[in-house]
Structure 1
Amino acid sequence: MTENAAKRLKTDSGVVAIGTHNGHFHADEALAVYMLRKHIPTYANAKLVRTRDPKLLDECDIVVDVGGEYEPARHRYDHHQRSFSTTFPERATKLSSAGLVYMHFGKQIIARRLSQPEESEQVGLVWNKIYQSFVEALDAHDNGISAYDAAGLAAAGLEKKFSDGGFTLGAMVGRLNPNWNDPIPEDPVAAQAAEDQRFELASQRIGEEFDRGLDYFTSAWLPAREVVAEAFAVRNEFDAGGRIMVLKKQSAPWKDHLYTLEEQNPEAGKVLYVLYPEKPTPDAKWRIQCVPETKDSFQSRKPLPEAWRGFRDEELDGISGVPGSVFVHAAGFIGGNKTFDGALAMVQKALL
């Protein structure tokens, strides 16, 4: 296997090379390699060398997830050494090779996408957001860190109600490794080539998901920040206590930005309901969404009245006393009305 890598290095002398380990692969180095090759111009046409031979790794321009060194000045990004304890700024999860590469190269990736300096506020916002929403899960998975404290769950007597299939980002990559009983070519060079081909597929797969997140957070999530900030600033127009926020033109990703604005303005109180049109046209119906207690919670801060839940149209008009009602979900977290005035009247009643 190392013979194959050695031949490639010798044959491709002068070509930039990225080194990582061979054998069973994981999501962290698959993403690390993808980010470098896809988004960092220096490594755009880099050869991939999968080996554990220190001599061959020494010849690589950058090494991730192998080698026992974390030395950014030399572009060595391993996290397996006993002394390693580095985390992303203001996060507690120990980094894997994905987090290391993202921490050092992520701002460059985002700055290129936004055409802004790496030091800009917008780049910093997206850099932190992508780490927390995507990369951190890979760091935790590779370092064996659970999203929940096992002792706390046991003490509370909490158990999973059903299997979620174990389909995490890490599992998505892991299932692309060969099965234990898959045939392996007898020729070591052919065997390594087959393994490398699987790794390339895994790297592309996790990279596509990363790119979807990058596209979303730069082109949709970040522009929504200004929309939500404007609505947050004028929410007292609709309720003296600032409990109703209206996105006047169309819906935008609001949850993250709302929670951030509330943290930055603790004296302003909590928003309970968000109103927005279903589409950006004058005749659009309006939706009412209850603000969850937390971003990932199914529990609303103040659900719509229980008496309204599960009813629709004229029947709901009679129960709510507001004409134009469309529906209220059986769980009470969302509802709708044919007009803005109707939706506003519904949440004003719900606040009583």
Structure 2
Amino acid sequence: MAESAAKRLKTSDGLGVKIGTHNGHFHADEALAVYMLRLLPAYAGSSLVRTRDPALLETCHTVVDVGGEYDAERHRYDHHQRTFTTTFPGRPTKLSSAGLVFLHFGRAIVAQRLDKPEGSDDVGLLWNKLYESFIEALDAHDNGISAYDPKKVEAAGLEKGFSDGGFTLGAMVGRLNPNWNDPTPSDPAEAQAAEDDKFITASTRIGEEFSRDLDYYAKAWLPARAIVQEAYQKRLQFDPEGRVMVLEGQAVPWKDHLYTLEEQEGTDKKVLYVLYPEKPVPEAKWRIQSVPVTKDSFQSRKALPELWRGARDAQLDEVSGIPGGVFVHASGFIGGNKTFDGAKAMAVKAVEF
């Protein structure tokens, strides 16, 4: 079982193990794989060997991204074999060394952060969420898999409107490799040590991003789930068709949880607007936000009325017929009112436009 790898290591192998990976140009997947392993107590005192020499790799307890072997029993986690097809449960993307390490040790990492058993529902939820939100992009990048089918993009005649700088997680690590014309020590051992230092910098850099994601989902996203569940259950109080959801105490990360709740319920009565106070204080102004079609979409299920868009203050009061208006964004995805009653009135009127 994937989740038992860390348990076996902890109980039978002790501290001070040696991790092996390849030298030369480094990539995001093995940089993160090494970082994730070292989050666990059993690897906290580990040393690192970067080589392609099979004899040296054989001396390593755990080997990632090199060696041509995937065998969790022997702690070998390479993905470059022609026969390798392993994916994360329920996902289509072929794993890289980061995905392999997360597959086998991710539950232990999450359980350690939550201080809960590996088999708990919350650990399983975050294990899946972290893979989809962070690790899978690295697996795809290392395996040359595009987020969009290139043939379909070409057939649709789509072109980039501007350069995004190629700033992906993988590119971030790639930029930390030595430049082709950087000075290199003449002594091979010194040259390897200098390269290893850059790798450690890269491993720490991407690892910090992973840890930030882990902390966010553990400390903010997961606790928000119960709040969104309660608001979803109360939504019929504000609209008979459940099109308005109110977060009564304060704003929390709600999109993922709302989509999950709607999918679980199987309803075709989707929430169109979410209301929440700007701050968790009694006199706070309120926001009304249109639910996007997908989490990262700029398209709303139902944007606020065209007539309101771009209006502010007294002008918004006039065009909406609702006192206390603060603003409505020019795209109609969000607006504000001085009071909850005003924001609720905006939602009630907007659903009927």
Q: By the TM > 0.5 criterion, same fold? A: yes
**Residue 19 of structure 2 corresponds to which residue in structure 1?**
18
**Residue 5 of structure 2 corresponds to which residue in structure 1?**
none
**SS class of match (2:144):** coil
Please tell me whether the aligned partners of residues 305 and 350 of structure 1 are also in contact (alpha carbons under 8 angstroms): yes
Cα displacement (A) at 1:268 = 5.9
Q: What is the correspondence of 1:162-241 to structure 2 with a 5 Å cutoff?
A: 162-241=162-241
Please tell me whether the aligned partners of residues 87 and 95 of structure 1 are also in contact (alpha carbons under 8 angstroms): yes
**SS class of match (1:191):** helix
Cα displacement (A) at 1:267 = 2.6
Unaligned stretches of 5+ in structure 1? 1-13
**Residue 5 of structure 1 corresponds to which residue in structure 2?**
none
Q: What is the correspondence of 1:271-350 to structure 2 with a 5 Å cutoff?
A: 271-350=271-350
Quick one: distance in 2 between partners of 1:172 and 1:210? 13
Quick one: distance in 2 between partners of 1:167 and 1:62? 30
**Residue 32 of structure 1 corresponds to which residue in structure 2?**
33
Please tell me whether the aligned partners of residues 113 and 218 of structure 1 are also in contact (alpha carbons under 8 angstroms): yes
**SS class of match (2:109):** helix
**Residue 252 of structure 1 corresponds to which residue in structure 2?**
252
Cα displacement (A) at 1:296 = 1.1
Quick one: distance in 2 between partners of 1:165 and 1:115? 39
Quick one: distance in 2 between partners of 1:16 and 1:235? 53
Quick one: distance in 2 between partners of 1:157 and 1:227? 43
Cα displacement (A) at 1:350 = 0.7
**SS class of match (1:275):** strand
**Residue 4 of structure 2 corresponds to which residue in structure 1?**
none
Please tell me whether the aligned partners of residues 235 and 243 of structure 2 are also in contact (alpha carbons under 8 angstroms): yes
Cα displacement (A) at 1:40 = 1.1
**Residue 12 of structure 2 corresponds to which residue in structure 1?**
none
Cα displacement (A) at 1:114 = 0.8
Please tell me whether the aligned partners of residues 176 and 202 of structure 1 are also in contact (alpha carbons under 8 angstroms): yes
4+ runs of 1 displaced by more than 4 Å? none
Please tell me whether the aligned partners of residues 118 and 124 of structure 1 are also in contact (alpha carbons under 8 angstroms): yes
**Residue 351 of structure 2 corresponds to which residue in structure 1?**
351
Q: What is the correspondence of 1:61-76 to structure 2 with a 5 Å cutoff?
A: 61-76=61-76
Please tell me whether the aligned partners of residues 243 and 272 of structure 1 are also in contact (alpha carbons under 8 angstroms): yes
**SS class of match (2:343):** helix
User: Cα deviation per residue 1:14-61 (whole Å; 9 max; x = unaligned)?
Assistant: 941000000000000000000111x11111010000000111111101
User: Cα deviation per residue 1:39-86 (whole Å; 9 max; x = unaligned)?
Assistant: 111110100000001111111010000000000001000000111000
Unaligned stretches of 5+ in structure 2? 1-14
User: Cα deviation per residue 1:237-288 (whole Å; 9 max; x = unaligned)?
Assistant: 0000000000000000000000000000113620000000001110000000
Quick one: distance in 1 between partners of 2:301 and 2:29? 37
Quick one: distance in 1 between partners of 2:18 and 2:205? 21
**Residue identity opposite 2:220 in structure 1:** A
User: Cα deviation per residue 1:157-204 (whole Å; 9 max; x = unaligned)?
Assistant: 111100000000000000000111111111100100000000000000
**SS class of match (2:267):** helix
**SS class of match (1:239):** coil
**Residue identity opposite 2:246 in structure 1:** V
Quick one: distance in 2 between partners of 1:336 and 1:53? 63
**Residue identity opposite 2:147 in structure 1:** A
Please tell me whether the aligned partners of residues 16 and 43 of structure 2 are also in contact (alpha carbons under 8 angstroms): no
**Residue 9 of structure 1 corresponds to which residue in structure 2?**
none
Cα displacement (A) at 1:106 = 0.5
**Residue identity opposite 2:248 in structure 1:** K
Cα displacement (A) at 1:115 = 1.1
**Residue identity opposite 1:160 in structure 2:** K
**SS class of match (1:326):** strand
Please tell me whether the aligned partners of residues 26 and 174 of structure 1 are also in contact (alpha carbons under 8 angstroms): yes
CA gap 1:240/1:15 in 2 versus in 1, 3 angstroms: closer
Root mean square deviation, CA, Å: 0.8
**Residue identity opposite 1:139 in structure 2:** D
Q: What is the correspondence of 1:28-107 to structure 2 with a 5 Å cutoff?
A: 28-37=29-38, 39-107=39-107
Please tell me whether the aligned partners of residues 242 and 268 of structure 1 are also in contact (alpha carbons under 8 angstroms): no
What is the aligned-residue identity percentage?
A: 72
**Residue 120 of structure 1 corresponds to which residue in structure 2?**
120
Could you tell me the TM-score, scaled by structure 2's length? 0.95
Number of equivalent positions = 338
Please tell me whether the aligned partners of residues 16 and 44 of structure 2 are also in contact (alpha carbons under 8 angstroms): no
**SS class of match (2:63):** strand
**Residue identity opposite 1:207 in structure 2:** G
